[in-house]
Structure 1
Amino acid sequence: MILQEKFKKLVEQLNENQYVIIEKIAIGEATDDALVGVILNVINYKIPEIIVNFYNEVSYVKIYWKCNLVENNQITKYSKEDEQVYGDINILDLAEMTAFDEKLLSEYWTRNMEAEELEDVKNFRYFNKHDEYLRLGFLVEDDIMSDEIYYIQEGTTGFAKAPFSFEEYLDTIFKFKGFLGFEYNMLYPETESNERMQHYIKEIFGE
């Protein structure tokens, strides 16, 4: 149960940090084998082994933390306007992850898409509901879910393949404690957003 241990260790790190307040913690135990079987029988496509293995260790994760930069004034701010920073990990359970989210068909996500890309939306399943501007997940094609990560952004023209693997994605969750915006920063490392995240991870966690 390596993933269980990693998530519990992350919670310990957050609990022990003097600057952090945890507002939500929920780490689901391994998904019941019978439930996995039921879900896999209900859906009409195959799931890659790496995804099944994840849910064989952890059924879901919900961790939300914040750091008040005004109260913790010993932390050096990246920008003087910064008042709080957050971390958010919201990994869906297997039933939620394998179900299509109808909200992805809203104009918010699809207004700039051509017809072909709109068809892909219905085949997209996301894993971690991290922020409201970006979704990372997997595309289902020919009744098989890809083990490669794709992403969609608010107002985008379509899907793009992420330049990292599922394992690398999980490693980054632990490395940056689910810092809000870490997904965007993985995709766009040469940005001020990533620089800001790196700054606060060092200031708050000493890493």
Structure 2
Amino acid sequence: MALKKSKTVRLFGAGGHSQIIKLVLQENNHKVSDVFDDKPENCHSFFKSITVGNRSNYDALSAEGDPFIIGIGDNFQRAEVARFLKSDFETAIHKSAIIGNKVIIGKGTVIYAGAVIGLNSIIGKHVIINTSANVGIDNKLEDFVHISPMAALCESVEIGEGSHIGAGAIVMPKIKIGKWCTIGAGTVVTKDVKDHCVVVGNPERTIRSNKFNFPNKKLTN
């Protein structure tokens, strides 16, 4: 599945996650017009030309022009940028990804090589479906979720806003994971998880809460 709305995209963030997005775009014959980052001196060597984007002054980033993709892997930071950046957003979907029928994919979402999304699933805005992740049928992923490489979500799973499913984790059918949770790598989730929980192990166990203050300005794009 290729991009449909634009042949050029702006990136916010120039780390490792952003370079993979750029490769996905290039494979779909799309171009990156500009790359913005708060600290360009710390950026990945893949990027040769970077514009300083001050996260404390989003008004300086024009809403006019190409849509953005936020190339930040950290869910909290990606959400922070998305909630205040005045722009339209685009998706990036690798050509090798398998997308089932009647799947809804929100703006700003990126889907990496080898990922599978089952039919009737709903994927929110600014979600990351990482390399070879498997999202089963009838899943619902809210905004800013990150499904790490090789993670598997079985049938009818719900993942709350901002939650991170670690590499190789398995979420059993009809499980609901709350908002802003962290599911550790290799964890097997067999029961519902409340908001803000950090869960690890097989079988799973909750080890702590990761509550934090979060900007409450609504995402409008």
**TM band (smaller chain):** under 0.3
Higher helix share: 1
Q: TM-score, with normalisation over the residues of structure 2?
A: 0.25
Q: Which has the higher contact order (CA 8 A, sep 6+)?
A: 1
